[in-house]
Amino acid sequence: MLKDGYQTGDVRFVPLSDVKKSKLIDLMNNEGVRRNLPLLTGYFSEKACQAFLAKKQEHWIKHGLGPWAFIIRDEFAGWGGLQIEQGEVDVALVLHPKFWGAGKIIFSKIKDEAFNQMELDSITALLPPCRSNSKAITRLGFIEEAKVVIGQETFIRYRLTKS
C-alpha cells in the first residue's frame, strides 16, 4: 500500500508521449522538483518539452529502454525509469511533490523490471550532493560509489546490485 492509501494497482507506467505536454511542463517547472534537477536550467517551455520528449523517444529506440510516465489513480505523478547514463543502466525518478510518498512503490516496479525482466546485475542512481533526503536511497539498498560530473554538475553515483 502507498502513502495516502494508494494500492500497488493504482500505479501504471505509460509512454511519456501519452501525457499532455502541459502536465509535463508544469511538473518540470515545479519549484520543489527543480531543486532536485540541477541540469534543468531556465524555464521548461513547450519547445524544451518537445526536445525532451524527442530525446527520450530516441533513447528508447537506441537502447530499448527509457523513461515512462507514472500514472497514479489516473493522475500524472511524474516520470522516470531506466536510462543509459555514462555507460550504466541508471534509474531516474522525478515525481510531483504531491506524490513523493509513492517513490518507493514506483521504484520497486522499476527494480523488478531491471533485475527480473532485463536480468541486470546492477543499476545506478545519480543524486546531486545537495539532495536533502539522500539517505532514502541507501535505505533501498544502494551504496555510494563515486562522484561523477555531468554537464558541469557534480552528482553522487549510487549502485544497487541484484541480490
The model's pLDDT over 56-70, given as tens digits with 9 standing for 90+, comes to 999 999 999 999 999
pTM for this predicted structure: 0.90
Which cell numbers hold the place of 58? 530516441
Burial grade of 53 (CB within 10 A; 0-12, 13-18, 19 or more): middle
Work out the percent of the chain whose per-residue pLDDT is above 70: 93
The H-assigned helical ranges of the chain are 21-28, 31-34, 46-63, 103-112, 135-139
Break the chain into its structural domains and give their ranges.
3-120
How many helices and strands (H and E) does the chain possess?
A: 5, 7
**What's the pLDDT band for 93 if we cut at 50, 70, 90?**
very high
**In the CATH scheme, what is the homologous superfamily, with its name and number, of domain 3-120?**
Gcn5-related N-acetyltransferase (GNAT) (3.40.630.30)
